[in-house]
Amino acid sequence: MSGFKLTRESILDGSLRTASQAMLGTQMPLMSEEVRAQQIDAALAAAPNPAAIWVFGYGSLMWNPAFLFAERRTARVYGYHRQFCLWARAGRGSPERPGLMLGIEPGGSCNGVIYRIAPELVRSELDVLWRREMNSAVYRPEWVASRTREGTVHALTFAVNRSHERYIGDLDLISTARYLAQGAGPLGLCCEYLFETVAHLRALGVRDRHLEILEAHVRAHDRLAAAAVQPASERSCA
């Protein structure tokens, strides 16, 4: 089912939007260009420091930002925690094999990466970011204080929109692992999204105990499922 690549080019040429619309049909209207521009304007108007626009990534933005940036730092945000709390029925999921995607929810703290966008590229690169993250308005743009070794800076991030129909809240561990193990869509396997997140956090010197426990359960789930019903050629996440 995989083969489509999430790149700057596939975002800008409309391929990502087309693929999402083809899979979701008309059940989920995608954001218009006019609304996207209005939201970017509103986010910039609310920026605590308009001279330095940073973006905080806590999932796939850590290893595949797809927008141009001038500086990158490891950061920690307090007041939010990372959670698999969104249905994925496109991307790394499908209506037939839904997966789960990360959002950040109120409470706790979250490690990730912040990116500074060059001043002359702010609007064009935020447009890329919005096309990538906000097609279906599943997130809410938020400015958060991000602590780094060089000091605290405010960064734009995308917190989960709890009023969106894709929001599912806090699933139990076993159900979460099952959806992560089984989810698959045009961008690939949902389990790979989890594995990449854990691997990149480790590369930053960060341990996320909850995600590491999930990783162990997903790998165990896939090994058992593969041994029971799948030919060896189809095993993928173990």
Residue pair 143/159 in contact by the 8 Å Cβ criterion:
no
Q: Report the 10 Å Cβ neighbour count for 189.
A: 23
Q: What one-letter code names the amino acid at 62?
A: M
- CA–CA dist 84, 226 (Å, integer): 24
3-state secondary structure of 138: coil
Confirm whether 133 is a catalytic residue. yes
Can you read off the two tokens belonging to residue 221?
């789930």
Distances (CA, A) of 214 to 155, 169, 175, 211: 28, 16, 10, 5
Of 34, 105, 125, 133, which one is the catalytic site residue?
A: 133
N-terminal to C-terminal alpha carbon distance within the chain:
18
Kindly state the helix (H) or strand (E) to which residue 211 belongs, with its residue range.
helix 209-229
CA 3 to mean position of chain CA atoms? 19
Which residues are annotated as catalytic?
Answer: 133
